[in-house]
Amino acid sequence: MYALADCNNFFASCERVFRPELNGRPVIVLSNNDGCAVARSNEAKALGIKMGDPLFKISDIVEKNNVAVFSGNFALYGDMSRRVQEVLRGYSPCIEVYSIDEAFLDLDGIDVDFDAYAKEISRECWRQTSIPVSVGIAPTKTLAKIASKLCKKYPKLKGGCYMHKPQDIEKVLRKFPAEDVWGIGRRMMKRLETMGVKTAWDYVSLPETTVRSLFHLPGFRTWKELKGIPCIEMEDIIEPRKTICVSRSFSKEITDRSELCEQVANFAESAVTKLRGQKSIALEMIVFAITNRFKEYAPQAFSSSHVVIPDGTSDHRVFIRHALEGCRDLWRPGYGYKKAGVVITKLVQEEGFSHSLFSDMEALEKESRLSSSIDSINKTYGCGAVLLGSQGTGEIKMSREHQSPHYTTLWSDIPKAKVR
DNA sequence: TCTGGGGTCCTAGGACCC
DNA sequence: TCTGGGGTCCTAGGACCC
């Protein structure tokens, strides 16, 4: 059996933990730059606010209904996520953190009343973190996902749902929209519609040969999982990332090359910090900058530069130097760049990596010590405590007008309690 | 005025090998 | 006239996820 624990309206719920007066009031959380709604409380969903709606398009609804609006506060969400994971670890020795707000638990070898177990996990998450969590338990990951969605729909399930009898599963799948199944995306749904497939049960009822030929291996796996045959395994060991990307949209378009370079230096610094965090070495990267795709009449550009790092590096200064070369190379005058980023496309593990025969090992050693010092200072005093000159002030040009305090990650923002 | 960010996997096709 | 057979690796593009 597998459990899926999914935090309800996660970012919005995080904001409510420290602002309990917002319970009952619609809450939305915005993407970077205060662009789109990326999380909505149930009340906000009921108002018709959709995932990804740009704020300026829903400003009427927001004002009329006194919606509480927050800029994304990812330090807070990351920390709350970690707290929920801690609780979950108490319920299975094997957990896979699938995303910031979801985790799978392998329940193999655990012999309990699973329905009660699911409800207990949910209750305990709430008790320890004040985050509402839906827990679905079923014979496959795909079915566990569906079970957890049922919890959100039916409050009487008290946050936990165990689904395992074939006749129960059939009953659920007959009513469950195919497009809400994990693994069935928009493109696939379009094809399914033309075949008359509307529910998960319709999909399961397709012949195996049809599924395999039209939807290949991924679609076939989903089909089997819905039938109760597990074929998506637990990925409980954290593997190093195969690509690392840091990109942002700017609040204002950038038309000056040195300004763009400064931003790219900051993205590169952030990327190299992630790289070092997983003990990898970068061999290639792509630096890109794009214009505002929504401005139909403005000249459009997707400028990018492919940078090869011959000896590989995980050094702050060397990496940023290469990123800046890329940035200068891709720059085209006459465009207003709205977004840019750095993607590390080829990386290898530091362990076992051999430098080129002609590398200056002494210089490398020196650089490596400097890089480690940068890491430890920034770790102790916070990201951006030490910067390279090319990063300017270290700030990314973004608007964040509605950000909540860093309640759990900054000493200065810890809530104060008065004793009377 | 204003529109997010970061990943993974699979497949087909080309290059190259013997 | 007639032109093999089997591999691997890499990449781009498409699909999916949150």
What is the tens place of the pLDDT at every residue in A361-399? 888 898 899 999 999 999 998 888 999 999 999 988 899
**Tens of pLDDT along A317-338?**
999 999 999 999 999 999 999 9
A184 touches strand C (CB under 7 A): yes
What is the distance in angstroms measured between the alpha-carbon CA of A320 and the sugar C1' of B13? Answer: 35
Same domain assignment for residues A53 and A176? no
By DSSP bridging, strand A280-291 and strand A337-349 are antiparallel
By DSSP bridging, strand A280-291 and strand A302-313 are antiparallel
Say if residue A358's pLDDT is above 90: no
pLDDT score of A420: 83
For strand C, give the nucleotides within 7 A of a protein CB: 14-18
pLDDT score of A353: 85
| Residue A410 domain-assigned (yes or no) | no
Say if residue A408's pLDDT is above 90: yes
Same domain assignment for residues A83 and A206? no
- For A226, the token pair is 């819905």
| Residue A415 domain-assigned (yes or no) | no
pLDDT score of A328: 96
Same domain assignment for residues A144 and A177? no
What is the distance in angstroms measured between the alpha-carbon CA of A346 and the sugar C1' of B14? Answer: 21
Say if residue A262's pLDDT is above 90: yes
pLDDT band at A118 (very low <50, low <70, confident <90, very high): very high
**Tens of pLDDT along A57-110?**
999 999 999 999 999 999 999 999 999 999 999 999 999 999 999 999 999 999
Q: Which of residues 47-106 of A touch strand C (CB under 7 A)?
A: 98-99, 101-102
Say if residue A314's pLDDT is above 90: yes
Residue pair A61/A49 in contact by the 8 Å Cβ criterion: yes
pLDDT score of A352: 82
Q: How far apart are CA A272 and CA A375, in angstroms?
A: 10
Kind and range of the H or E element at A201? helix A200-204
**Tens of pLDDT along A13-23?**
999 999 999 99
**Which amino acid makes up residue A375?**
D
* Percent of all residues in chain A with a pLDDT value above 70, rounded to a whole number: 100
Same domain assignment for residues A262 and A203? no
Cα-based torsion angle of the residue sequence A351, A352, A358, A362 in order, rounded to the nearest 10 degrees: 40
A353 touches strand C (CB under 7 A): no
pLDDT band at A133 (very low <50, low <70, confident <90, very high): very high
Say if residue A181's pLDDT is above 90: yes
Same domain assignment for residues A39 and A126? yes
A351 CB-near residues (< 8 Å, 6+ apart): A279
Say if residue A226's pLDDT is above 90: yes
| Residue A406 domain-assigned (yes or no) | no
Same domain assignment for residues A44 and A26? yes
pLDDT score of A27: 98
pLDDT band at A311 (very low <50, low <70, confident <90, very high): confident
pLDDT score of A310: 84
A182 touches strand C (CB under 7 A): yes
| Residue A100 domain-assigned (yes or no) | yes
Same domain assignment for residues A118 and A195? no
A262 touches strand C (CB under 7 A): no
Cα-based torsion angle of the residue sequence A73, A79, A83, A86 in order, rounded to the nearest 10 degrees: 140
Q: How far apart are CA A330 and CA A332, in angstroms?
A: 6
pLDDT score of A367: 87
Same domain assignment for residues A360 and A374? yes
Tell me the pLDDT of chain A averaged across its residues: 95
| Residue A290 domain-assigned (yes or no) | yes
Domain that holds residue A115: 2-162
Identify the DSSP state of A94.
-
Q: How far apart are CA A156 and CA A114, in angstroms?
A: 16
Same domain assignment for residues A156 and A174? no
